[in-house]
Amino acid sequence: MAVTVASGSKAPARPRRRPVISSGWAFVIPFLIFFAIAILAPVVYAIYLSLFRDQLVGGSSFVGLANYAQALTDPDFWFGVGRVFGFMIIQVPIMLVFSLIAALAIDSGRLRAPGFYRILLFLPYAVPGVVAVLIWGFIYGPRFGLVGSINSFLGAQIFTPLTPEWVLGSIANIAVWEFAGYNMVIFYAALRTVPNELYEAASLDGAGAFRTILSIKLPALRGALVITTIFSIIGSFQLFNEPNLLKPIAPNAITSTFTPNLYAYNLAFTGQQYNYSATIAIVMGLITAVIAYVVQLRGTRKELR
């Protein structure tokens, strides 16, 4: 690191007016205050809610873990979990491979104007998720959309992205479109940290492009892969915006229990079942956290220094 100020820093340290110990807290406390209001308090409140139930007679009463027992045997909930799990298994690898190929290609030095590709592929990240779903919704539209135009040109209903069979794939496509460029930039940034000498050494050893990718680039991407995988998994399990916004044009394909989050939302806002809704949200949070933790453990040890 090119720091020239360091020369005089070994002067004998006198006891300071402000001990360093408390200064650290002073920097962290503003964040922690809002963290407590916006995250800790709701979590505690959700746990509290999940232990009660509104009875027809006598109002709210403590029911222990009864809501959890109900959630564990609730087929609507588990169908939703299965659906987002299936979504994750398919969407996350496709998206990350897209991002990886793009990042490696842009970093390879074998493209003309790599910056141009980088900016264009990153563009969807600047598009609000709601707008992305609206655009794709119009494209998918069987009556007036692009897909509708193509079908009427072909003279048959070839593409039916909004039917129950295809709607999950159609949502996966939207998610790939929205986030592949973002993940590409994370990979690209990680590739940029590889010192040039490594590549020079590899080429002196006669390593080809694929050998370099396998032995130098992929190991350098390990941390970035773990981070992007974890965030993609969290995103999959939180799936809400896309199905909720496609619902008006695909009412038969997207039910009120389509994903666990949609289920929790509808329980609370159309069913007024706040206690059970909070329980579903907590169980989903736990499942997500466990999976993210497993990925983190398997993926890397280096990250924690």
Partner 1 sequence: MNAAPIERRRSRLAPRSSIALTIVMVVLVLYTLVPLAYLLINSTKSQDDFFTSFGLAFGSSFNLFQNIGEVFSYNDGIYSRWFLNTVLYVVVSAGGATILAALGGYGIAKFRFRGRSAVFAVVLGAVAIPGTALALPTFLLFSSIGLVNTPWAIIIPSLVSPFGLYLMWTYASEAVPSEILEAARIDGAGEFRTFFTVSIRLLAPGLVTVLLFSIVTTWNNYFLPLIMLSDPKWYPLTLGLAQWNAQSTGTNADPIQNLIITGSLLAIIPLVVVFLLLQRYWQSGLAAGSVKA
Give the one residue of 94, 146, 213, 218 binding partner 1; rule: CB under 8 A: 146
Q: Stretches 2-10, 60-68, 74-82, 159-167: which one binds partner 1 (CB under 8 A)?
A: 2-10
Smallest distance from the beta carbon of 263 to partner 1, in angstroms? 10
Placement of tokens 């407590």 in the chain: 36
CA pair distance 206, 201, nearest whole angstrom: 9
274-299 and 260-269 are packed helices; what angle lies between their axes, rounded to 10 degrees?
A: 160
The count of residues interacting with partner 1 (CB under 8 A) is: 113
Taking CB under 8 A as the binding criterion, the range among 52-60, 85-93, 158-166, 270-278 that sits at the site for partner 1 is 270-278
- H or E stretch including 61? strand 59-62
Cβ atoms of 167 and 253 closer than 8 Å: yes
Nearer Cβ to partner 1, position 66 or 127? 127
Which residues, numbered 198-257, are part of the site for partner 1 (CB under 8 A)?
Answer: 199-200, 203, 209, 230, 234, 237-238, 240-241, 244-245, 248-249, 251
Distance between CA atoms of residues 262 and 258, nearest Å:
6
Query: Interface with partner 1 includes 2 (CB under 8 A)?
Result: yes
Pair 136, 174: CB distance under 8 Å: yes
Question: For residues 66 and 249, which CB has a smaller minimum distance to partner 1 in the complex?
Answer: 249
* Residue 211 Cβ vs partner 1, minimum distance, rounded to whole Å: 13
Residues 180-199 that bind partner 1 (CB under 8 A): 180-181, 189, 192-196, 199
Give CA angle at 141 (138, 144), nearest 5°: 85
Nearest CB to partner 1, comparing residues 172 and 284:
284
Please select the residue that binds partner 1; options are 80, 145, 161, 243, rule is CB under 8 A: 145
Output the DSSP codes for 212-245.
HIIIIIHHHHHHHHHHHHHHHHHHHHT--HHHHH
